A and B are shown apart, each in its own frame.
Chain A
């Protein structure tokens, strides 16, 4: 029996793969390829769980997860507001804002630039998630401590990228601004900041996923009785894996949407950049 099941799963996989190669060959149907790939994964998952009788404690089927999402929407919504809206989003805005201002301060002073930048580069590569227990102790269990973790996590990547971006305008363009008699402020606003935008958005996009991770990780070190990290850790303890997967689905969709939103803004702001053409 098992052999037949394996063959069936493989047949579905190969069939859809063959269809995908056909679709990929034609320009008109190309957008279908990633969609079909995702559908294939879900289908194989569902099939495998049903055919092999995988226990829902180990891996619930996609349909079971969907049923859980629809039936416990209010809980998911409270967790979403607590973790993402209050924790991650507040931290993201504060952290990116602070990093932008610091970057301009660094840009004004060559001494700071040479001193702070190596330190910033170094800190950006460190496992900053580890500060979560400390910040939870300082700022308490509620969302403020989660926002603080997010601020620290997104600060350095955005800072390093923005400082690099402010160097992006080349000497010729800066000289031109000088011949116009432009002040530092004017040069910054009209030349340097626009030229820095591709780099800035690179940092902002990295920071979107960091913000989500930071907010959820921090909840493992103590949280009120709501929030995605809290829910995941308690549901894992109660073997409520369908709820865990429901939270993961919400986190994944939110993360993709957040990333997509920042990319959309990027497309609007840096339409002139070569990487956005064609």
Chain B
């Protein structure tokens, strides 16, 4: 708890800077309006106006908060303007993609650990695959799948899975190789076979590595889903909210979608973290 005061101070400073920047960046518009009407603006009027414009260059924090409240609590969750609705569209694709990516990553890691040809052949290409910017792939995957008659959740999840498989694979390879020679030798003296060594030694000792990767992977899956929603001309999801807000200059909408995405990411990482603590505690590995 001794971190609380510094964190709160930093947040307060950030908020203050934000308000200051909002007044500064939006003042241009206020001055223009006043000049057109042939009036002088007092400082009080300037502050009041810059913090309550409909399409500000930088919306003030309370405007964003009001928009979030309006679009989450006051609208029905099924409404097309509700952030809960758009958040759910994004979340479902993220979770499906995260699931696929995690399974693929673990499978790849098991293969890499047990097969030398896979280790030598696949790993460099798995690394190279991460240098391809996903966005280069996103529109194409969506167009290709669309032409095969698949649209909606699956294409977005594939991109999310593509982003999340790599951290899982790398972490899992490291984890499965974590048992040292002494422990492996002990298993051998117990006359344990390959499958048994895997189940009783390698798999349990990989858990801390796996969870560390899962936290990275779920955040990456969310980014992938949001990015996948951009080029597809989708009208649903947080990414689509960002894009339509950018087309129509609805800055408050962009910021509220951004904060919803941030909250979603934080919640997802938090859930995986809680799972991690629970599992490691049950296994007697909690630090």
Q: Do A and B bind each other?
A: yes
CA distance A256 to B239 in the complex (A): 28
User: Across the interface, which residues of A come within 8 angstroms of B147, CB to CB?
Assistant: 57-58
Q: A20-B117, A130-B258 are in contact. Are A252 and B131 (CB under 8 A)?
A: yes
Query: When each residue 193-235 of chain A gets 1 if its CB lies under 8 Å from chain B and 0 otherwise, what string results?
Result: 0000000000000001100110011001110000011001100
Number of chain B residues close to chain A: CB under 8 A: 62
Q: Does the CB pair A126–B262 fall under 8 Å?
A: yes
User: Across the interface, which residues of A come within 8 angstroms of B10, CB to CB?
Assistant: 112, 115-116, 119
User: Across the interface, which residues of B come within 8 angstroms of A134, CB to CB?
Assistant: 251, 254-255, 258
Q: Does the CB pair B133–A216 fall under 8 Å?
A: yes
Number of chain A residues close to chain B: CB under 8 A: 63
Residue A85 is within 8 A (CB to CB) of chain B in the complex:
no
User: Across the interface, which residues of B come within 8 angstroms of A75, CB to CB?
Assistant: none
CA distance A38 to B127 in the complex (A): 13
CA distance A138 to B58 in the complex (A): 9
User: Across the interface, which residues of B come within 8 angstroms of A112, CB to CB?
Assistant: 6, 10
Q: Does the CB pair A255–B121 fall under 8 Å?
A: no
Residue B135 is within 8 A (CB to CB) of chain A in the complex:
yes
Q: A114-B3, A209-B133, A221-B246 are in contact. Are A126 and B121 (CB under 8 A)?
A: no
- What secondary structure prevails in chain A residues at the interface with B? helix
Q: A17-B117, A119-B11 are in contact. Are A248 and B132 (CB under 8 A)?
A: yes
Say which one of A29-37, A43-51, A92-100, A159-167 lies at the interface with B: A29-37
Residue A147 is within 8 A (CB to CB) of chain B in the complex:
no
Say which one of B191-199, B218-226, B276-284 lies at the interface with A: B218-226
Residue B245 is within 8 A (CB to CB) of chain A in the complex:
yes
Query: When each residue 123-152 of chain A gets 1 if its CB lies under 8 Å from chain B and 0 otherwise, what string results?
Result: 001110111111011100000000000000
In the complex, how many angstroms separate the beta carbon of A60 from the nearest chain B beta carbon?
10
Q: Does the CB pair A125–B120 fall under 8 Å?
A: no
Q: Does the CB pair B140–A236 fall under 8 Å?
A: yes
Q: Does the CB pair A115–B7 fall under 8 Å?
A: yes
Q: Does the CB pair A122–B223 fall under 8 Å?
A: no
Question: Which A residue's beta carbon lies closest to that of B257?
Answer: A130
Q: A58-B147, A129-B226 are in contact. Are A213 and B135 (CB under 8 A)?
A: yes
Q: Does the CB pair B6–A125 fall under 8 Å?
A: no
Residue B122 is within 8 A (CB to CB) of chain A in the complex:
yes
Residue A8 is within 8 A (CB to CB) of chain B in the complex:
no
Interface centre among A127, A233, A247, A259 (most CB of B within 10 A): A127
User: Across the interface, which residues of A come within 8 angstroms of B132, CB to CB?
Assistant: 248, 251-252, 255
Residue B57 is within 8 A (CB to CB) of chain A in the complex:
yes
User: Across the interface, which residues of A come within 8 angstroms of B171, CB to CB?
Assistant: none
Residue A244 is within 8 A (CB to CB) of chain B in the complex:
yes
User: Across the interface, which residues of A come within 8 angstroms of B124, CB to CB?
Assistant: 34, 37
Q: Does the CB pair A233–B139 fall under 8 Å?
A: yes
Among candidates B25, B140, B223, B249, residue contacting A129 with C-beta atoms closer than 8 Å? B223
User: Across the interface, which residues of B come within 8 angstroms of A125, CB to CB?
Assistant: 215, 219, 265-266, 269
In the complex, how many angstroms separate the beta carbon of B9 from the nearest chain A beta carbon?
6
Q: Does the CB pair B144–A34 fall under 8 Å?
A: no
Among candidates A21, A115, A221, residue contacting B243 with C-beta atoms closer than 8 Å? A221
CA distance A213 to B162 in the complex (A): 14
A→B interface (CB under 8 Å): 17, 20-21, 23-25, 30, 33-34, 36-38, 41, 57-59, 111-116, 118-119, 122, 125-127, 129-134, 136-138, 208-209, 212-213, 216-217, 220-222, 228-229, 232-233, 236, 239, 241, 244-245, 247-248, 251-252, 255-256, 258-259
User: Lowest 8 CB-CB distances: which A-B pairs, in order?
Assistant: A115-B6, A255-B131, A133-B246, A37-B121, A115-B10, A33-B120, A24-B117, A114-B6
